[in-house]
Amino acid sequence: MEVSGVEADSDDLKLLARANYAHFTAMQARDRAVRGLDLHLERLDDSTRELFGTGLDPDRVRACLRHALRAAPDAVTARVTVFSRHQDAVLRGEPTEPDLAVTTTAPLAARTAPVRLRTTPYERDLPHVKHAGTFGLSLRRRRAVLAGYDDVLFTDRDGRVGEASISNIAFFADGHVLWPEAAVLPGITTRLLQRGLAAEGIPSEHRDLRLPDLTPSLAAFLTNSISPAVPVTSIDDTALTVDPDLTALLVKCYASNPWQPV
C-alpha cells in the first residue's frame, strides 16, 4: 500500500483501518493498463466532489497508480481509496484536499460457475457512490451464505430489484439486456459491458423490475470488476435460464473495450 506515492507507514494503516468516510474504486491492471481507466477516473472525481467538496486531478491519480504499479507484478488488482487525514475539517464541511491510498494485490480468477441469490430488502446509503460504509451489505451477504446461497440480491422499499452485494445484476430477454431501474452503484464493468453491447447492436434498457417479474424464461448475470459475467441459476426459489452462449457473448462484449495505459 502506498499513500500519495509513498509506502504507507503504521500511522497511515491505523487511520485507514478506522476510516469509514472514504470512497474507492477497484480495477484489474495488466501490464500497467486498465480497461475503463477513464471511467474510474471520472468516478473518483465525481465522488470526491460529493464527499470532500473538491475535485480530484486525474493526473494525480494516474501518477500514484503508476508509482504503485511500477514495483508490482504485471497482473494485479489495484484499489484507489480516497480519504482524508483531516477528518475534523471534513466533518466541519470544509472543502478538503483528500489523500490517496493505492493498494495492489494478486488478481482473483473471474468466476464462471452459476450462482444462487437470496433476496432481501436493503438500500445502501448514497448508493451511487462506491464508499467504505459496507457493514450492512456484508452482513446481509453473510446471512445469505449461511442460508445456503452464494450471494444476496437487494430490493428497495418499493420492492424494486436493485443490485447484489458487490455486483450489478442484469437480465436478458427477447434480445434485450434489462438493467434494474432502482438506485444502485453504476459499476464500471457494467458501463464497459453497455459499451460493448451497443457495439454489437444489442439494446440495453433500464426497467422497473420486481420479484414477480423474475420468471424462468429470463437469464440473469452478475457483473463486477473481477467477473464480467456470472450466470445466475436461481433467485430465491425461482430457477432462471442459464445460457453459456449468452455468457460467452457478454465476456466478448466486455473484452472488446481496449486496455488504457495508466
pLDDT digits (tens, 9 = 90+) for 112-135: 899 999 999 999 999 999 999 999
User: Angle, nearest 10°, between helix axes 244-255 and 188-199?
Assistant: 100
Dihedral over Cα of 244, 248, 249, 254: its sign: positive
Which fold, 115-260?
D-amino Acid Aminotransferase; Chain A, domain 2 (3.20.10)
Instruction: Give the model's confidence band at 33: pLDDT under 50 very low, under 70 low, under 90 confident, else very high.
Output: very high
Average of per-residue pLDDT values in the chain: 95
Range list for CATH 3.30.470.10 in the chain:
2-105
Question: Residue 45 above 90 pLDDT?
Answer: yes
State pTM to two decimals: 0.93
pLDDT at residue 23, as a whole number: 97
The domain made up of 2-105 is a member of CATH 3.30.470.10: yes
Long-range CB contacts (within 8 A, 24+) of 3-10 = 3/99, 3/100, 3/101, 3/102, 4/64, 4/99, 4/100, 5/63, 5/64, 5/67, 5/68, 8/101
Nearest by Cα to 167 from 202, 193, 200: 193
Range list for CATH 3.20.10.10 in the chain:
115-260
Gap between the Cα atoms of 196 and 253, Å rounded: 4
